Amino acid sequence: MTTPAQASSAAADLALPIVDAALAERLRVRLADVESALFGHATSRAPFVTEAARHLLAAGGKRFRPLLVLLAAEAGDRPANPEVLTAACVVEITHVGSLYHDDVMDEAALRRGADSANSRWDNLVAILTGDFLFAKSSELTAQLGPEAVRIQAETFTRLVEGQILETVTPGPDDDPLQHYLEVVAGKTGSLIATSAHYGALFGGAAPEVVTALTEYGELVGTAFQLSDDILDIASESEESGKTPGTDLREGVPTLPVLMARSSTDPADARLLELLDPERSDLTDDALHAEALDLLRKHPALEEARTYVVARAQEAKKLLDVLPAGAVRSALEAFADVVATRTA
């Protein structure tokens, strides 16, 4: 298993390119501090609980959320405020806790290349470990004061609502795409919005900057998940590290699939048949390969890319509230990387 020290050293590689060398070095140092603190917070009096709680932390991850906290804090006059580090831990521990629950819901065997907690132990251990991490994030949030508690409570409500909505089939009068976007906004957008919110707030940014960066985070968070949807269809496994069409095989609705399903073009009859779970079983390798090929050629894939890039452009427009410079450029790069990522 990866040790806390090894995981901490991995923080030297930031999840996005930052041109300004001084800013990049500050973020590396602070992210390493966050990484070390995360393992300290994921500690229990019971050794088994500590092992389970550190399991997914040790598996790594891009640490997008704590990095965004640290970067947003640079928009204020107190980026080194200790509360910024605490807030970065809050969002990552909340995120990791949600992964334990996600893996139970998805019956996942792997997470970040390692055995999922439910696979290594069982569903009960995974669920309670996620609960333990949520409790730890609440303890940390309490240290940040009443406003942070309110923000975290609202965020957690949205996150759980998103998870629940994901299990609900849209009604006959509901727009499936709009329903899915609500799921994405809750499950992913909410916590990334809070990451930017916390960073700007505890970094001492002006109120208008805090508001703008919170909205920026919501859009970037949505783009982050939707770009993952595109990767599921468009990527090659050697490029992205993902198995192409995993969500497609499992019948998980994604942006390109939902856009393709809205087609009324008779030429799409075969694709629509394949995407209909009542008429086609995409666990069949041949049918899965056919559906994946047709989706890659379909205009819906480019339509999905255009939609995601547009969300990133909206996010970047919100950065007009910041002066030109290294921080604004890095936040713009963050939005671009999220929207066009290949891994």
Encode burial over 58-68: b for 16+ CB neighbours within 10 A, e otherwise: bbbbebbbbbb
d(CA 42, CA 254): 33
pLDDT of res. 258: 96
pLDDT of res. 340: 83
pTM (two decimals) = 0.90
The answer to whether 70 and 149 have CB atoms below 8 angstroms apart is no
Q: Looking at the predicted structure, is the pLDDT value of residue 133 above 50?
A: yes
The pLDDT > 90 percentage for the chain reads: 64
Ranges of each domain in the chain = 220-343
Q: Looking at the predicted structure, is the pLDDT value of residue 243 above 50?
A: yes
Q: Which residues pair with 110 in a beta bridge?
A: 115
pLDDT band at 52 (very low <50, low <70, confident <90, very high): confident
Q: Is 44 exposed, middle or buried (0-12, 13-18, 19+ CB in 10 A)?
A: middle
Q: Looking at the predicted structure, is the pLDDT value of residue 141 above 90?
A: yes
H helices present in the chain, as ranges: 4-10, 21-41, 47-58, 64-73, 82-106, 117-120, 123-143, 146-166, 176-184, 190-202, 207-234, 237-240, 246-250, 255-261, 269-274, 285-297, 299-317, 326-340
Q: Which residues pair with 289 in a beta bridge?
A: none
Average of per-residue pLDDT across 258-285: 94
| 171-216 pLDDT tens trace | 888 999 999 999 999 999 999 999 999 999 999 999 999 999 999 9
pLDDT of res. 109: 63
The answer to whether 116 and 103 have CB atoms below 8 angstroms apart is yes
The answer to whether 72 and 201 have CB atoms below 8 angstroms apart is no
The pLDDT > 70 percentage for the chain reads: 91
CATH of 220-343, one of 3.40.50.720, 2.40.30.10, 1.10.600.10, 1.10.1040.50: 1.10.600.10
